[in-house]
Amino acid sequence: FCLIWSSFDKLIASLGVFVFKFEYFGSFLYGFLNRLLLPLGLHSILSFPFDFTSLGGVEIVNGNTVRGLKNIFYEQLLDPSLVKFSSGFAKISSGFYLSIMFGLPGAALGVYKGIVHEDKNKVSALLLSGALTAFLTGITEPLEFLFIFTAPLLYFVHAAYSGFALLLANFFDVTIGNTFSTGFFDFFMFGILQGNSKTNWISVLPLGVIFFALYYFTFSWLYRYFDFQIFVTDDPFFEGQEGKLESLGIAHLLIQGLGGFDNITKLDVCSTRLHVDVVNTELVNDDLLKEAGVLKVVLVNGKVQLFYGTNVYYIKKAIDTYSPKSLFEASVMVAVDNVKKGFKTYIEMKEDKKLEKQGKSGKTYKISELEED
């Protein structure tokens, strides 16, 4: 493991030198790899050295030597004499405003135009919420994982376009920083409010329109040409007693698939994944996890990533509230509800028979007479 990780570390260091040495192609490669590594959760490993070590640049700000792109950005925000933000943002960061804030909404619209089945309204709600989330906050997982699991080719195209976006941002010297992601909120605070002279944010607008159109026409054509299909199922979680029982049953399977409570040391969630720290990865049972609805299981350095989709927060809530007692209580409540429904059906059937007898004794006779008249 040490030899493998050492080689991987050297590869990232070499990539850092490559990105800053080979200007435009380096920017393209960084953006492309950043998106390709996201499904594995390794995109942070790629970006961390650039953000917080000398790979991201070394600059003198307010008389202090600062290393790492994020650190430089935070210091430059406090510098009243700043003329221009670090060019490092143009190389490996600002371009994501094009692909995320403009590109992904265009992709969502393009996919929507290509849908022909009866679930179009349900899918449109998913696409719209994902597009708004990407545009406003820069959170991309809802749309990106939708493409990964239903149309991987579309995701590969998105990764390539992300690299192209970084190349263009570098060419036009767009130096807009960010603290969280590259959505409109960060664009407004760290682009517009900082002034065009420091960031060249105005260039993002025409380029963004181009990327919106590029994504829209590409994704619309590819979706129809390859006949990709996106379907949305109704979410049963926490809808009535039966929904609660089903979600607790899923939580039970997940816990067993992860080796039991004793094997779980930490459980966290992001927009589409469960992040689980376990004591022994050999106790992880992929079959049980997939039976619980997990789309993909990834083991990284003793940590388990469970890809679920946008309903992952419901899953996390079910796990947090799960216990053998809660599962038993939910089962009892569903059984009681079923008995009530059965009794209600029995009463309704008796009423129907009673009305039927009354009709035969003469209540429908008058109606038939009117019909004859």
Which positions ≥6 away from 269 have C-beta within 8 Å?
Answer: 275, 312, 313, 316
Tokens of 159: 């990764």
Q: Residue 372: what pLDDT?
A: 47
Q: Where are the beta strands (DSSP E) in the chain?
A: 58-61, 64-67, 264-269, 273-278, 296-300, 303-307
What is the crossing angle of helices 240-257 and 324-358, to 10°? Answer: 150
For 342-366, the pLDDT digits (tens) are 656 756 676 766 666 665 554 444 4
The whole-model pTM stands at: 0.68
For 12-66, the pLDDT digits (tens) are 656 666 776 778 998 999 999 999 988 877 777 778 888 888 877 888 888 889 9
* DSSP tag of 300: E
Phi then psi dihedrals of residue 165, to 5 deg:
-65, -40
> Quick one: 99 exposed, middle or buried, by C-beta within 10 A (0-12, 13-18, 19+)?
buried
Whether 270 is catalytic is: yes
Q: Where are the domains of the chain?
A: 2-225, 240-321, 331-372
Q: What is the distance between the alpha carbons of residues 91 and 171, in angstroms, rounded to a whole number?
A: 9
For 256-295, the pLDDT digits (tens) are 888 887 888 888 877 677 888 888 888 888 888 888 778 7
Per-residue pLDDT for 200 more than 50?
Answer: yes
Which is the catalytic residue, given 11, 193, 270, 279? 270
Tokens of 142: 């809802």
pLDDT class of 371 with cuts at 50, 70, 90: very low
At residue 183, the 3 state secondary structure works out as: coil
Q: What is the distance between the alpha carbons of residues 187 and 189, in angstroms, rounded to a whole number?
A: 6
CATH class for the domain made up of 240-321:
alpha beta
